[in-house]
Amino acid sequence: MNHTSTETDTLEQLLSRTAMHDRAAFAELYRQTSPHLFGLCVRMLRDRGEAEEVLQEAFIAIWRRADGYNPALASAGTWLTTLVRNRAIDRLRQRRTDTHADPLELERLPDEGRGPAAHAEASEDYRRLERCLGQLDPKHSRSVREAFFTGATYKELAMRCQVPLATMKSWIRRALLQLRTCLET
Protein backbone atom coordinates (compact mmCIF):
# COMPACT_ATOMS: atom_id res chain seq x y z
CA MET A 1 0.00 0.00 0.00
CA ASN A 2 1.43 3.33 -0.97
CA HIS A 3 0.64 5.82 1.78
CA THR A 4 2.07 9.20 2.67
CA SER A 5 3.35 9.62 6.23
CA THR A 6 0.10 11.40 7.19
CA GLU A 7 -1.98 8.52 5.83
CA THR A 8 0.29 6.04 7.61
CA ASP A 9 -0.18 7.94 10.85
CA THR A 10 -3.91 7.78 10.27
CA LEU A 11 -3.80 4.01 9.70
CA GLU A 12 -1.71 3.58 12.84
CA GLN A 13 -4.17 5.68 14.80
CA LEU A 14 -7.09 3.73 13.39
CA LEU A 15 -5.42 0.44 14.34
CA SER A 16 -4.71 1.77 17.83
CA ARG A 17 -8.35 2.79 18.25
CA THR A 18 -9.50 -0.53 16.77
CA ALA A 19 -7.42 -2.28 19.44
CA MET A 20 -9.65 -0.50 21.97
CA HIS A 21 -12.71 -1.85 20.10
CA ASP A 22 -13.67 1.52 18.60
CA ARG A 23 -16.21 0.48 15.94
CA ALA A 24 -16.06 3.81 14.10
CA ALA A 25 -12.27 3.53 13.78
CA PHE A 26 -12.59 -0.03 12.55
CA ALA A 27 -15.16 1.02 9.94
CA GLU A 28 -12.86 3.79 8.72
CA LEU A 29 -9.88 1.42 8.64
CA TYR A 30 -11.95 -0.93 6.50
CA ARG A 31 -13.06 1.90 4.21
CA GLN A 32 -9.49 3.08 3.65
CA THR A 33 -7.76 -0.28 3.21
CA SER A 34 -10.28 -2.81 1.89
CA PRO A 35 -9.97 -1.91 -1.83
CA HIS A 36 -6.23 -2.61 -1.85
CA LEU A 37 -6.53 -5.69 0.34
CA PHE A 38 -9.42 -7.08 -1.71
CA GLY A 39 -7.34 -6.61 -4.87
CA LEU A 40 -4.55 -8.62 -3.26
CA CYS A 41 -6.98 -11.41 -2.36
CA VAL A 42 -8.46 -11.53 -5.86
CA ARG A 43 -5.02 -11.73 -7.46
CA MET A 44 -3.92 -14.51 -5.14
CA LEU A 45 -7.09 -16.58 -5.06
CA ARG A 46 -8.44 -15.92 -8.58
CA ASP A 47 -11.98 -16.16 -7.27
CA ARG A 48 -13.95 -13.08 -6.22
CA GLY A 49 -16.25 -14.98 -3.86
CA GLU A 50 -13.38 -16.66 -2.11
CA ALA A 51 -11.50 -13.35 -1.98
CA GLU A 52 -14.49 -11.76 -0.24
CA GLU A 53 -14.54 -14.57 2.33
CA VAL A 54 -10.81 -14.31 3.01
CA LEU A 55 -11.02 -10.53 3.33
CA GLN A 56 -13.91 -10.88 5.79
CA GLU A 57 -11.95 -13.45 7.82
CA ALA A 58 -8.91 -11.16 7.76
CA PHE A 59 -10.87 -8.18 9.04
CA ILE A 60 -12.31 -10.31 11.84
CA ALA A 61 -8.71 -11.19 12.74
CA ILE A 62 -7.73 -7.51 12.52
CA TRP A 63 -10.56 -6.63 14.93
CA ARG A 64 -9.40 -9.32 17.36
CA ARG A 65 -5.63 -8.83 16.96
CA ALA A 66 -5.25 -5.06 16.47
CA ASP A 67 -3.71 -4.85 19.94
CA GLY A 68 -0.82 -6.99 18.63
CA TYR A 69 0.21 -4.37 16.06
CA ASN A 70 3.62 -2.85 16.85
CA PRO A 71 4.53 0.24 14.80
CA ALA A 72 8.20 -0.30 15.64
CA LEU A 73 8.18 -3.53 13.62
CA ALA A 74 6.19 -2.53 10.53
CA SER A 75 3.98 0.18 9.11
CA ALA A 76 0.24 -0.28 9.55
CA GLY A 77 -0.17 -0.92 5.82
CA THR A 78 2.52 -3.60 5.86
CA TRP A 79 0.98 -5.27 8.91
CA LEU A 80 -2.47 -5.32 7.32
CA THR A 81 -1.16 -6.56 3.97
CA THR A 82 0.85 -9.33 5.64
CA LEU A 83 -2.12 -10.47 7.69
CA VAL A 84 -4.39 -10.60 4.63
CA ARG A 85 -1.73 -12.22 2.45
CA ASN A 86 -1.18 -14.93 5.06
CA ARG A 87 -4.93 -15.63 5.20
CA ALA A 88 -5.01 -15.97 1.41
CA ILE A 89 -2.01 -18.32 1.48
CA ASP A 90 -3.74 -20.41 4.14
CA ARG A 91 -6.79 -20.66 1.87
CA LEU A 92 -4.61 -21.66 -1.09
CA ARG A 93 -2.96 -24.36 0.98
CA GLN A 94 -6.36 -25.63 2.13
CA ARG A 95 -7.65 -26.18 -1.35
CA ARG A 96 -4.39 -27.46 -2.90
CA THR A 97 -6.32 -28.75 -5.91
CA ASP A 98 -4.52 -26.40 -8.28
CA THR A 99 -0.96 -26.50 -6.94
CA HIS A 100 0.67 -26.49 -10.35
CA ALA A 101 -1.19 -23.51 -11.76
CA ASP A 102 1.04 -21.01 -13.48
CA PRO A 103 1.17 -17.91 -11.22
CA LEU A 104 2.04 -15.81 -14.24
CA GLU A 105 -1.49 -16.56 -15.47
CA LEU A 106 -2.60 -14.21 -12.69
CA GLU A 107 -1.15 -11.39 -14.78
CA ARG A 108 -3.40 -12.36 -17.69
CA LEU A 109 -6.71 -12.54 -15.82
CA PRO A 110 -9.39 -10.40 -17.44
CA ASP A 111 -10.08 -7.12 -15.70
CA GLU A 112 -13.75 -6.83 -14.80
CA GLY A 113 -13.74 -3.05 -14.72
CA ARG A 114 -12.12 -0.49 -12.48
CA GLY A 115 -12.68 -2.45 -9.29
CA PRO A 116 -10.36 -2.71 -6.29
CA ALA A 117 -7.91 -4.98 -8.11
CA ALA A 118 -7.54 -2.50 -10.96
CA HIS A 119 -6.89 0.32 -8.52
CA ALA A 120 -4.29 -1.74 -6.68
CA GLU A 121 -2.52 -2.60 -9.93
CA ALA A 122 -2.52 1.01 -10.98
CA SER A 123 -0.65 2.06 -7.88
CA GLU A 124 2.91 3.27 -8.03
CA ASP A 125 4.00 0.47 -5.70
CA TYR A 126 2.71 -2.14 -8.13
CA ARG A 127 4.54 -0.57 -11.08
CA ARG A 128 7.77 -0.33 -9.09
CA LEU A 129 7.48 -3.94 -7.95
CA GLU A 130 6.81 -5.17 -11.51
CA ARG A 131 9.80 -3.19 -12.78
CA CYS A 132 12.03 -4.67 -10.08
CA LEU A 133 10.74 -8.22 -10.65
CA GLY A 134 11.53 -7.75 -14.34
CA GLN A 135 15.16 -7.03 -13.47
CA LEU A 136 15.59 -10.39 -11.74
CA ASP A 137 16.80 -13.56 -13.38
CA PRO A 138 13.64 -15.11 -14.87
CA LYS A 139 13.99 -18.31 -12.76
CA HIS A 140 14.28 -16.23 -9.60
CA SER A 141 11.40 -13.94 -10.52
CA ARG A 142 9.15 -16.90 -11.26
CA SER A 143 10.07 -18.56 -7.95
CA VAL A 144 9.31 -15.39 -5.98
CA ARG A 145 5.98 -14.99 -7.80
CA GLU A 146 5.01 -18.60 -7.11
CA ALA A 147 5.98 -18.32 -3.45
CA PHE A 148 3.98 -15.10 -3.05
CA PHE A 149 0.93 -15.77 -5.21
CA THR A 150 0.44 -19.49 -4.60
CA GLY A 151 2.02 -19.89 -1.17
CA ALA A 152 4.33 -22.60 -2.50
CA THR A 153 6.97 -23.78 -0.05
CA TYR A 154 10.70 -23.88 -0.75
CA LYS A 155 10.47 -27.66 -1.08
CA GLU A 156 7.63 -27.48 -3.62
CA LEU A 157 9.46 -24.84 -5.64
CA ALA A 158 12.69 -26.86 -5.59
CA MET A 159 10.83 -29.92 -6.85
CA ARG A 160 9.12 -27.95 -9.63
CA CYS A 161 12.39 -26.39 -10.77
CA GLN A 162 14.32 -29.63 -10.23
CA VAL A 163 17.00 -27.99 -8.10
CA PRO A 164 18.26 -28.82 -4.60
CA LEU A 165 16.34 -27.29 -1.70
CA ALA A 166 19.37 -25.21 -0.66
CA THR A 167 19.60 -23.77 -4.19
CA MET A 168 15.96 -22.71 -4.12
CA LYS A 169 16.43 -21.06 -0.73
CA SER A 170 19.43 -19.18 -2.12
CA TRP A 171 17.48 -18.07 -5.20
CA ILE A 172 14.62 -16.72 -3.14
CA ARG A 173 16.90 -15.02 -0.60
CA ARG A 174 19.02 -13.41 -3.31
CA ALA A 175 15.92 -12.32 -5.24
CA LEU A 176 14.34 -10.75 -2.16
CA LEU A 177 17.55 -8.86 -1.39
CA GLN A 178 17.69 -7.59 -4.98
CA LEU A 179 14.03 -6.58 -4.79
CA ARG A 180 14.60 -4.69 -1.55
CA THR A 181 17.55 -2.81 -3.05
CA CYS A 182 15.61 -2.01 -6.21
CA LEU A 183 12.50 -0.86 -4.32
CA GLU A 184 14.52 1.40 -2.01
CA THR A 185 16.01 3.33 -4.93
Number of domains in the chain: 2
Same structural domain, 118 and 138: no
Model confidence at 64, in pLDDT bands (50, 70, 90)? very high
CA dist 10 and 29 (Å) reads: 9
- pTM of this prediction? 0.56
The answer to whether residue 107 sits within a structural domain is no
The answer to whether residue 66 sits within a structural domain is yes
Same structural domain, 16 and 90: yes
105: pLDDT strictly greater than 90: no
Same structural domain, 118 and 134: no
Same structural domain, 2 and 31: yes
Predicted local distance difference test score (pLDDT) of residue 35? 93
Same structural domain, 92 and 24: yes
The answer to whether residue 58 sits within a structural domain is yes
Chain centroid to Cα 177, Å, comes to 17
Domain range for 80: 1-99+114-122
Same structural domain, 77 and 6: yes
Query: Please, where are the H alpha helices in the chain?
Result: 5-19, 23-45, 48-65, 76-95, 116-122, 124-134, 138-150, 154-161, 165-184
The answer to whether residue 33 sits within a structural domain is yes
Q: What is the pLDDT of residues 70-97, one digit of tens each?
A: 888 888 888 999 899 989 988 888 876 5
Predicted local distance difference test score (pLDDT) of residue 63? 94
Predicted local distance difference test score (pLDDT) of residue 96? 65
Same structural domain, 90 and 145: no
Q: Mean pLDDT, to the nearest integer, of 149-164?
A: 85
Same structural domain, 175 and 153: yes
33: pLDDT strictly greater than 90: yes
